[in-house]
Amino acid sequence: MHEPNAAGEPLLKVENLCKSYGSFKALKGVSFTLQPGETMAVVGESGSGKSTLARALLRLDEADSGHAYWKGRDLLKMPAKELYQLRRQMQMVFQDPTQSLNPRMTVYQLISEAWVIHPEILPKPQWRARVEELLTQVGLSPAHAERYPHQFSGGQRQRIAIARALALRPELIVCDEAVSALDVSIQAQVIALLDKLRRELGIAFIFIAHDLPVVRDFADHVMVMQSGECVEVGTVRQIFESPQRDYTRRLLDAGLDPDPRVQAARRMPKVRAGLEMG
Ligand SMILES: Nc1ncnc2c1ncn2[C@@H]1O[C@H](COP(=O)(O)OP(=O)(O)OP(=O)(O)O)[C@@H](O)[C@H]1O
């Protein structure tokens, strides 16, 4: 469990973040605060800037202006050496695990690769046991360590990607459309797993999704993005029960399937959390 940092700083405080591609403004001054262990969903239609925000925060792309403070330290100005250490604490899980998992590596190699890069985390004799522990934690079996990514279903591959992110003991996991490619019932199982990890390990999440219903049972706060701007932010309850903007209402309407069976399948099966192997 991660402790709140001593200074009582938020885990992440983002101020007025801007990013352009040429003359196109993809992020127009986004601000928000994330506390340790908190989950913030970032929702918005395609092209609204959600991935650009994630990439700027992890410095996979450089923001043009603004600030992002990680426990009070401006991570956008952080020198490379400090950033290298910080990257460990901020992990990303992408939409398509077939692209992020090297098909030639076994699950054991994929997960332990994190410790090749960061050997300070775990001595080599402990790698095997830790890989097996992580696989169990994400609802897979220790025997899966010797398999290759193509031998798993989409939901199981996403669990491997999550285990790999956990290997570095992150304090924040940024999920960029991490469940969007999965069937609705498998989506709910993977979200239930993330929720279990959040409760057990105190990990904070930024959870990017274009579909509002999937975040309802998981997020604490929702930030709604449109054309590079945050147009509404609130608790899940505020956003779902009294959205202030038409755009948010439209997102809610678009995401709600009229079929109650589909709605039920989307809801997170809390009691089954992490036990099924989607
Ligand atoms: N490398 C790039 N070069 C030029 N334009 C880009 C680049 N990356 C993103 N954009 C543009 O910035 C805007 C925001 O893109 P972004 O990927 O952040 O949107 P998004 O909300 O994540 O969309 P989606 O839900 O489809 O993933 C889009 O109009 C996109 O075309």
Q: Note whether residue 6 is domain-resident.
A: no
Q: What is the pTM of this model?
A: 0.88
H-only helix segments in the chain: 50-57, 80-89, 97-100, 107-117, 127-137, 154-166, 184-201, 236-241, 246-255, 260-266
CA of 16 to the centre of ligand 1 (A): 18
Q: Is the minimum distance from the CB of 84 to ligand 1 under 6 angstroms?
A: no
What is the percentage of the chain residues whose pLDDT exceeds 90? Answer: 67
Which residues, at least 6 apart from 195, have a Cβ–Cβ distance to it below 8 Å? 217, 218, 268, 270, 273
Q: Note whether residue 5 is domain-resident.
A: no
pLDDT band per the 50, 70, 90 thresholds, residue 196: very high
CA of 228 to the centre of ligand 1 (A): 9
Q: Which pLDDT score is estimated for 6?
A: 52
CA of 48 to the centre of ligand 1 (A): 7
CA distance 84 to 1: 22
Ligand 1: residue whose CA is nearest its atom 7: 21
- Say how many C-beta atoms besides its own lie within 10 A of residue 6's C-beta: 7
For residues 238 and 38, the answer to whether their CB atoms sit within 8 Å is no
Q: Note whether residue 105 is domain-resident.
A: yes
Judge whether residue 241 has pLDDT over 60: yes
Domain count across the chain:
1
Residue 226, domain CATH? 3.40.50.300
Average of per-residue pLDDT values in the chain: 88
Nearest to 40 by CA among 157, 164, 209: 209
Q: How many residues does the chain have?
A: 278
Helix or strand or coil: residue 194? helix
What's the domain range around 117?
12-272
Q: Note whether residue 2 is domain-resident.
A: no
> Of 114-118, 155-159, 228-232, 256-260, which range is least confident?
256-260
Q: Note whether residue 119 is domain-resident.
A: yes
CA of 38 to the centre of ligand 1 (A): 26
Which tokens in the block code for residue 198?
Answer: 């959040």
Q: Note whether residue 238 is domain-resident.
A: yes
Q: Which pLDDT score is estimated for 103?
A: 94
Q: Is the minimum distance from the CB of 26 to ligand 1 under 6 angstroms?
A: yes
ipTM of the complex: 0.95
Which residues, at least 6 apart from 87, have a Cβ–Cβ distance to it below 8 Å? 58
- The number of the ligand 1 atom at minimal distance from the alpha carbon of 225 is 21
Q: Note whether residue 107 is domain-resident.
A: yes
Q: Note whether residue 47 is domain-resident.
A: yes
Q: Which pLDDT score is estimated for 217?
A: 83
User: For residue range 135-190, what is the model confidence (pLDDT) as tens digits?
Assistant: 999 999 999 999 999 999 999 999 999 999 999 999 999 999 888 888 888 888 88
Nearest to 101 by CA among 113, 89, 117, 91: 113
Judge whether residue 75 has pLDDT over 70: yes
Q: Which pLDDT score is estimated for 240?
A: 92
Q: Which pLDDT score is estimated for 265?
A: 56
pLDDT band per the 50, 70, 90 thresholds, residue 33: very high
